[in-house]
Amino acid sequence: MVAHTLVVGGTGMLSGLCEALAGDGGRLSFLSRQACGPDGFACDYYDPAAFTAALDAAVARAGPINLAVAWFHTLKIEAPRLLAERVEGRLFQVLGSAAADPSHPWRLETAQRVAEDLPGCDLRQVVLGFKAEPTGSRWLTNNEISAGVLDAVRSDRPLTIIGQTKPWSAKP
Ligand SMILES: NC(=O)c1ccc[n+]([C@@H]2O[C@H](COP(=O)([O-])OP(=O)(O)OC[C@H]3O[C@@H](n4cnc5c(N)ncnc54)[C@H](OP(=O)(O)O)[C@@H]3O)[C@@H](O)[C@H]2O)c1
């Protein structure tokens, strides 16, 4: 079966990633509230039933999810686990810079629990850091985020930091 890639939150900062992945061949689906078109599945990931229905519709259309990239505003909802349960391959979890806060050193480990006891789901993590420049530090641009996540997918590292998270005191 042709590979199926699914991106959660693919219309915002990850839209460049979607464009690049679409060029890889295979089938691409994306989920967001305003998603539209044949590849887009509109849903609010805070609504577990709607999120499940959107995942099921994507799988019905394009087959099992072989690769997923997911950006959720929080992991303290059902959606991250609902997604992990449906992934039959790699799941790239995109995390905000707070995942690298040295005063909460267990956050990456906690985030990994979405794939706990799911042998079919091979979890990778991508942390969005910042850029320290001579004029001061700043957050990443959407293009830098999409390019960094694409590099993480292509390189298949277990953990990727886009930009930097150290020294933590230098963050914007
Ligand atoms: N470290 C850095 O340098 C850096 C840089 C930029 C951003 N960030 C972090 O990333 C966050 C990104 O912010 P953002 O949310 O504005 O990014 P965004 O990429 O503009 O939007 C997030 C994506 O998720 C979708 N989405 C949002 N809420 C959803 C929901 N409830 N259900 C389903 N899909 C949903 C959006 O589409 P719809 O609107 O269609 O739902 C969009 O595709 C920032 O708050 C910040 O924490 C970090």
Six token digits for residue 85: 């349960």
Ligand 1 centre from 1 Cα, in Å? 31
Instruction: Give residue-wise pLDDT tens across range 125-134.
Output: 999 999 999 9
Sign of the alpha-carbon torsion through 79, 115, 127, 59: negative
Q: How many residues does the chain have?
A: 172
> Which ligand 1 atom is nearest residue 44's CA?
32
What is the model's pLDDT at position 2?
58
Tokens of 76: 């303290």
Share of the chain above pLDDT 70, in %: 99
Query: Atom of ligand 1 at shortest distance to CA of 11?
Result: 43
Query: Two tokens at 78?
Result: 């059902």
Single pTM value for the model: 0.95
Please state the separation of Cα 147 from the chain's center in Å. Answer: 13
The pLDDT value recorded for residue 60 is: 97
What is the number of the ligand 1 atom nearest to the C-alpha of 163?
Answer: 3
Residues 8-44 pLDDT 10s: 998 889 999 999 998 888 899 999 999 999 999 999 9
Where do the domains of the chain lie?
4-170
- Which of 73, 138, 144, 145 for mutating ligand 1's site (highest number of atoms within 8 Å of CB)? 73
User: Domain spanning 4-170 has what CATH number?
Assistant: 3.40.50.720
3-state secondary structure 81-145: HHHHHHEEEEEEEEECHHHHCCCCCCHHHHHHHHHCCCCCEEEEEEEECEEEECCEEEECCHHHH
Pocket test for ligand 1, best of 33, 36, 144, 168 (most atoms within 8 A of CB): 33
